[in-house]
Amino acid sequence: MPGRPTLVSRNAVAPWCIAVLLLGGCDALLTQAPDPGDVMDGAVDGLTAGERAAFAIGDAEFERPFAASEGLGPIFNNVSCASCHSGDGRGRPENGLTRFSMGGLPAPELGGPQVQDRAIPGATPEVAPAGADLSRRMPPAVFGMGFVEAIPDSSILGRADPNDGDGDGISGRPNLVTAPDFIPAHEPGGGPGPRIGRFGRKAQVSSLFEQVVTAYHQDMGITSDALPIENENPLAGSGAASADRVADPELPGTTVRNVVNYVRMLAAPAPGVETTERAHGRVVFDQIGCTGCHTPVQRTGSSPVAALSYREFTPYSDFLLHDMGDALADLRPDGAADGYEWRTAPLWGLRVAREFLRGQLFLMHDGRATSVDEAVRLHGGEAAAARDAYLALPANQRAAVLDFVESR
């Protein structure tokens, strides 16, 4: 007996159900967000809606690579911020850049202070001149900079001891620099007079604004309202001048400001859970004198971002210059920093750093240390006593210190 006509046969029900389940399926099918504490490109807590929107815009600009037809070059090191700072963290040796000086001077007539080793067609990449003092620099992590920017001058100066008055062998001093004219006076680190350098391997930069503007200009060859004239290879022929055909400035001031605000609002990854061994390692870290430079806690003052104002954070750095000895010396002055001095590197993001560097770690200014232990052993100068104390520890205590530092 013929059945009643149906719109859809029974055979069709199962595939449709499967399709509906797939399409409306669980979140796992559509990817899941990583833990906010495990990434280096998350925003600090407590931002306003407007700040979160600015953060998102700046994030896109930070990621944005440039093509030659969009202004890249004529000479450059890489094509975007993100192409040097892996996941907004530190970079790899192949993403590093070379700074040089001649007799302690930046030598702009020879292309200094930085070698732009790449060039768009028609332009000529730079090479370091013979006889120059070279300093290879790894891309540093860019998170946490808003906190560093907001540390009151008095806090940094209060920890300075340039003449080692307390006799502990540590004589940190600030790198007092003059802010370039293009930095608006209202920007933190801007304005006339000496400013405390906070950023860069030798604390040679006082302002996030300067850091971003010069990164665009020097690292990518992107001009902006602040630096509207192209950086060219002074040793290239006149033909190279026409290689970059994009009108200057290539980037509006709003974009620079978006990236400044993005970097300002980047949170540091969360440190790992403090296990018993790590707690012990932290105590030993202090006992052997590491905290003489790696100051555990800092407190911010006023910041353009309310969520960054008057907050404690744990960078494990005093942001002062210290003589680190012969092994690490680049013999290249930078501002007031001499060829032996380096800014105390913050100890943060180390827990997740390997995940963004193909399982490897590259520490110190030039990335030569591939483990924390190796980095400690390279310490000298003012850090020699702490290094020796570390080396004298029983193996289990050294392991606890390393576990603690790597959990940061």
Partner 1 sequence: MIAALMAGSPAQAQDASAAGTAAPAPAVPFVRGGFDDKPYLHGIFGRIRVGGYLEADAFVEREEGATSEAGFELLRWNLLASTEVSSRVSVWSEVEFEDGGDEVTLELAQVDVRIVPLANLRGGILLSPLGRFNLAHDAPRNELPGRPLVATELIGVALSEPGFGLFGSKEWAASRRLTYEAYAVNGFRDGVILDSPDGTRVPAGKRNFEDENASPAIVGRVAVRARAGLEIGVSAHHGAYNLFQAEGVAIDERRDLTVAVGDLEFVTGPYRFVAEAATVRVDVPPGLIGTHASRQAGGYVEASRRFGERWIAAWPGASFAAAVRLEAVDFDRDLPGDSIARMSLGVNLRPSPESVIKAAWTRGRSRDRFDNAAQEAELRLSLATYF
For tokens 């052993």, the residue is 377
Binds partner 1 by CB under 8 A, chosen from 22, 235, 279, 331 = 22
Q: Does 237 interact with partner 1 (rule: CB under 8 A)?
A: no
Nearer to partner 1, 41 or 210 (CB): 41
**Closer of 1 and 395 to partner 1 (Cβ):** 1
- Measured between alpha carbons, how far is 196 from 198 in angstroms, rounded to an integer? 6
Is-contact 376 385, C-beta < 8 A?
no
Smaller CB distance to partner 1: residue 6 or 238?
6
* CB closer to partner 1, 95 vs 155: 95
**By CB under 8 A, how many residues form the interface with partner 1?**
49
The answer to whether 150 touches 303, Cβ cutoff 8 Å, is yes
Out of 62, 66, 262, 362, point to the residue binding partner 1 (CB under 8 A).
66
C-alpha distances out from residue 252 to 128, 294, 320, 336, Å: 31, 38, 34, 32
Q: CA angle, corner 234, sides to 233 and 235, nearest 5?
A: 90
Among 55, 61, 62, 78, binds partner 1 (CB under 8 A): 78
- Say how far apart CA 265 and CA 150 lie, in whole Å: 11
Closest CA to 284 of 378, 374, 393, 377: 393
Distance CA 355, CA 145 (A): 21
Measured from the CB of residue 215, what is the shortest distance to partner 1 in angstroms?
Answer: 16
Contacts with 376 (C-beta within 8 Å, 6 or more apart), sequence order: 387, 390
Give whichever of 209 and 216 is closer to partner 1, judged by the CB atom.
Answer: 216
Among 15, 165, 193, 237, binds partner 1 (CB under 8 A): 15
- The reply on whether position 26 binds partner 1 by CB under 8 A is no
320/32 Cα distance (integer angstroms): 40
Q: Does 259 bind partner 1 (CB under 8 A)?
A: no
By the rule CB under 8 A, 238 interacts with partner 1: no
Report, in Å, the least distance between residue 47 CB and partner 1. 16
Give the residue with the Cβ less far from partner 1, 84 or 263: 84
For residues 118-147, which are near partner 1 according to CB under 8 A?
118-125
Q: Which stretch binds partner 1 (CB under 8 A): 112-120, 205-213, 329-337, 344-352?
A: 112-120
**Which are the contacts of 76, defined by CB distance < 8 A and separation ≥ 6?**
116, 118, 119, 120, 219, 220, 221
The one segment of 11-19, 46-54, 310-318, 384-392 that binds partner 1 by CB under 8 A: 11-19
Which C-beta is closer to partner 1: that of 50 or that of 121?
A: 121
Angle between helices 276-287 and 395-406 (to 10 degrees): 100
Closest to partner 1 by CB, 84 or 256: 84
Token pair for residue 72? Answer: 């890249």
Q: Which of residues 342-361 bind partner 1 (CB under 8 A)?
A: 355-358
Q: For residue 95, what are its two tokens?
A: 């993403």
Residue 362 makes contact with partner 1 by CB under 8 A: no
Distance CA 337, CA 232 (A): 27
Distance, CA of 9 to CA of 12 (rounded, Å): 6
Is position 209 an interface residue for partner 1 (rule: CB under 8 A)? Answer: no
Name the residues that contact partner 1, by CB under 8 A.
Answer: 5-9, 11-12, 15, 19, 22-23, 25, 27, 29-34, 64-70, 72, 75, 78-80, 82-83, 86-87, 92, 94, 118-125, 355-358
